[in-house]
Amino acid sequence: MAAPVLEVTNLTVAIAGGGDRANAIENVSLTVMPGEIVCVVGESGSGKSVTSQAVMALLPKGQLRISGGSIKLEGDELTTKSQPAMRAVRGKRAAMVFQEPMTALNPVERCGDQIAEVLEIHTDLDAKARRARVLDVMRSVHLPDPEQMAEAYPHQLSGGQRQRVMIAMALVLDPALLIADEPTTALDVTTQAQILKLIREMQVRRNTGVLFITHDFGVVSEIADRVVVMQRGRIVEQGTKAEILAAPREAYTQMLIAAVPSLVPPVRVPITSQVTLETIKLNKTYGGRSFFKPSGRVVKAATDVSFQIRRGETLGIVGESGSGKSTVARCIARLVDPTSGRIDLDDVDIARMSERKLRPYRRRVQIVFQDPYRSLNPRRSVGQSIIEGPMNFGLPHGEAIERARNLMGLVGLSPDALDRFPHQFSGGQRQRIAIARALAMEPVLLIGDEPVSALDVSVQAQVLQLLDSVRKKFDLAVLFITHDLRVAAQICDRIAVMQRGVVVETGPTANVFANPQHDYTRALFSAAPGQGFGHRIGAGKIDLVPAV
């Protein structure tokens, strides 16, 4: 057996000044062999990124420091190295790819120069030789037209291209170890598939050891050789991919895996109740010229969008970023004014209504937003946030409070928590509160705009179940916006697939998944990582646990 590329033993990183806990990671031990991809998987705050930063000696100064353990790169101890000595390691023997390729690349420097910089630092090559090497490595990561790309600035490239530049930069000196910190999280699913393939390809070709940080079990099942599961700074379990995914030993791992929704939709009975919402040729364009802004470019965010949602039905809109799915949701909630088309809510067109006339209809459409940390006013108690709407429509304070208490119970929180402020709740709890706030208005249509995207996978499942149960209980029409096909598969009765502002395909969820018609839909589905992996929501393993 070859020597490991990376050997981390009993690594502990202390948090300066304490905080919730004394150490960011404790007693972490793992190894990466040459040509092996080790996935470190965990929810937010599990310490997986800290581990990778510690290896590169890039821990934020003054906040985190290594307090124990050892890190050996090809047998060479790193924890005792000085910063200048570490500089010789970084970029040459160990390289890193970050999550967000837009911010990880210097925005004011040409891509080629940024790759060449690595060569400048670590080699004696002259400018010409550097240039040749840069074009070479760019070609090897399948960047089209490397000569032109080398001259481009990061913002002129797409997200996937930028990540390829990052990978080229990391691999240009053939490091023994590549650390990839959530390298595909910020990418669309189709791009993600390509990048994963690229990493796999490069790693095989160069026999690089890869430490791959991710929170997505789909990605794990796609790429990992071995898996390390972390929770709250400790390693819970590690083993081969097959061991961990198929037969997890630890309860935490089991829970995590069970919470991943399946890509196979359950069978659903078609719903034929009355139509609550119908959009007809809805259009929204942004920009355009005006006196003060003569340079406006016109962006068509939504074009001729038409669909129906019936009572008790969940319609999912899926699509990648920029597809216009959120724009449609915001038009229907009248947070933006549609450019043309109809929005019929129970047969009344609200598309062009003035704010004054619209007011009585406002309560009938409610929306739950993506970011739980921003969807509640941090300065107002949860109770105040929930009763604000009903009181706007004349409900007396006492009754509004009563209603809020009932709803808190319904969403699985203690009614006594009404006096607390948002910061005292976790992300999942806040989304429950946001749902309660929406329900307090007694809406007929509930819009979820990526309501679970920001949540850890375990919490996500609970919130999805809650949404599904309130739909049933109140016979709500639900418009569910998501980029996550797994979620869409599990919760939607019907789905509409959007691409560049246009609905390219609509139909019952099972049909669309089983037999996609449009090319784009097919591409989208085939790109989803870990096809065979995942579970059905509500398959019985997780219950709604009142969390307060």
Of 290-319, binders to other proteins (CB under 8 A) are: 291-292, 294-295
The residues in 468-487 that bind other proteins, with binding defined as CB under 8 A, are 483-484
- Region from 278-286, 301-309, 338-346, 434-442 binding other proteins, contact rule CB under 8 A: 434-442
Any contact of residue 87 with other proteins (CB under 8 A)?
A: yes
Numbers of helices and strands, H then E, in the chain: 20, 20
The residues in 320-359 that bind other proteins, with binding defined as CB under 8 A, are 320-322, 333-335, 359
The span from the first CA to the last CA of the chain, in angstroms, equals 51
- Region from 278-286, 380-388, 490-498, 509-517 binding other proteins, contact rule CB under 8 A: 380-388
Instruction: Give 298-323 as a 3 state SS string.
Output: CEEEEEEEEEEEECCCEEEEECCCCC
Any contact of residue 72 with other proteins (CB under 8 A)?
A: no
Any contact of residue 174 with other proteins (CB under 8 A)?
A: no
Q: How many C-alpha atoms does 272 have within 13 Å on its Cβ side? A: 2
Any contact of residue 18 with other proteins (CB under 8 A)?
A: no
Give the Cα separation of 341 and 349 in Å (integer).
9
Long-range contacts of the stretch 539-542 (C-beta < 8 A, 24+): 539/258, 541/255, 541/258, 542/255, 542/258, 542/259, 542/458, 542/461, 542/462, 542/465
The residues in 131-170 that bind other proteins, with binding defined as CB under 8 A, are 153, 155, 159, 166, 169
User: Exposure of 87 by Cβ count < 10 A (0-12 exposed, 13-18 middle, 19+ buried)?
Assistant: middle
Grouping H, G, I as helix, E, B as strand and the rest as coil, residue 454 is: coil
The residues in 39-58 that bind other proteins, with binding defined as CB under 8 A, are 44-50, 56, 58
- Pick from 14, 15, 256, 411 the residue near other proteins by CB under 8 A: 15
By rule CB under 8 A, what string of x and - marks binding of each residue 199-218 to other proteins?
----------------x---
- Pick from 139, 352, 363, 536 the residue near other proteins by CB under 8 A: 363
Residue 260 CB coordination number (10 Å): 23
Any contact of residue 98 with other proteins (CB under 8 A)?
A: yes
Closer to other proteins by CB, 117 or 402: give it. 117
Give the Cα separation of 332 and 305 in Å (integer).
11
Is residue 507 within 8 Å of 495, Cβ to Cβ?
yes
Least Å from the CB of residue 480 to other proteins: 15
The residues in 516-535 that bind other proteins, with binding defined as CB under 8 A, are none
- Pick from 1, 18, 20, 540 the residue near other proteins by CB under 8 A: 20
Closer to other proteins by CB, 92 or 541: give it. 92
Any contact of residue 196 with other proteins (CB under 8 A)?
A: no
Closer to other proteins by CB, 441 or 510: give it. 441
Give the Cα separation of 145 and 156 in Å (integer).
14
